[in-house]
Structure 1
């Protein structure tokens, strides 16, 4: 069985690492399976791409399509044109896509038009917010895939509502958590830990990159100033996403608590998350990692495609803006962490289940 694995952006790299390990394990056991890794180049900043390959021991891609940035349509079109040539030159039995970035949808479409089967890892997740580019990517990818690998029973239900046959849906767990468990003993202090005199469980992690939070310069600046005030006696480590950095420009804001740092590699970032007091973010993936690590997470969005992180885990939606965050964070300071747990099958063995299923159904 020949699999082409597609990766295009930071979350993809974290998800493909354990899948590749699971394939290589099966190869060592004598299974007739091989893979070709294609990097679309959707994230081409070294801090968002190369670093993750190095730290997670992901082999160098067999091909880099080098599409880089552009509008949603321009980037998607560039990926499709380049990936078609990739598949024409390198045949395979299956294209495996992960997550919900432009590369996921674009490569799934190309594969299906070339009559190649598609496996979607993290199928079925939905936010219900069609204004999110990721939601469109999810819906389109799930409408044409052949194998649906889900992280939760909620995702299963979403797929069944869309008319996907039960036989094609496989509840396997969360590959991001595979990566987390495989690397917990390798996480490392960031270079600025001692310089900033950080203390265990006495700082907050902040990440922002969604358009609703960062696209307007003045409202972004005000949000940061409000979070700075909210933190009171705690330092706030803010790895500034390239998108956010571009919007902030060169303007210097006088923060009392926020410390702006460069985007972090996986090992340093997980060290920061694991040892933090709390996390404020607009990322979906981080809410999964904080759930497993037992760290309180406040997500600055009106919706989430990962309801299990709220219903079972440590995540709380606080909407856009500061008011609800201020109220919920104040309650958290007063009452402490709420009771939480780890969702079913988030046990570090998801990738092995995926490869076992693919081998037994081909």
Structure 2
């Protein structure tokens, strides 16, 4: 699948956002991730659960059912499943198949999200979670504003490409983000892997919308750094940092992160989870609402652009014919990294089958 050569479509041995924490309740919720229907709910004690979302009896969606204690009941014929995946009740009979287990997905609740491990459960490792604490999550003197999930009608690698080349802010998002000059600012690669790339916009006027909301009393210009860091296949963090001008980025005024959860829904659709995390104007409802409105506009713009790319991907997209420039270096290196992960999982699957 473009832009990779591996036959495997998804990187399964990684953590992916399935929902905002606030979405998961005693009312079952269904999400499709990597073509798999999954039902999400909470036990009476509040623990999140993630289970194969179709009843094993006749494939009715369990999210349409209800919870009886900690057992989820299918509304079609009343089959019930316990938190360990076992069949707990079959109407009309006193016994249940003892060997049966509905598939369960390892899950972790962190940073305001519910994360699922889509690969082999035995390989699920909390240490492979993205280092959220490094980007402000659950940290003192930071605030998080959950934003929304956007259904993107395009394959997940296109969304990662989009995020790793922020030069499009100066063109596609010229009005919604209001960062003039960002399209022409040269990228800076801060490490050899180039999984983190920045752009510096020096001496931005205090009237720039982002600056105005972040520092409403400021009259002087600021240096603005725009960046993005790829952390895992399912999570990237874009950001703006603000500095006193002329200090070579030594006097930091504040940082605003935009979390980007990239969760493959199907071969040609992606769930994009958005949250805003900052250490500026922590209690400003006005800043909250402007950020959410601005990001909503940018995500609709991205959705439109990625839908166009997806419509041509199967027939015309070919990495051997792509015209690339300096702005693509980070995206291409991330592509190579993702290709290695896909190929490693493909080799592992092949050796298991033999």
Flag whether TM exceeds 0.5 (same fold).
Answer: no
Q: TM-score range by the shorter chain?
A: under 0.3
Instruction: Give TM-score scaled by structure 2 length.
Output: 0.25
Instruction: Give TM-score scaled by structure 1 length.
Output: 0.25
Higher relative contact order (CA 8 A, sep 6+): 2
Higher share of residues assigned helix: 1
Higher share of residues assigned strand: 2
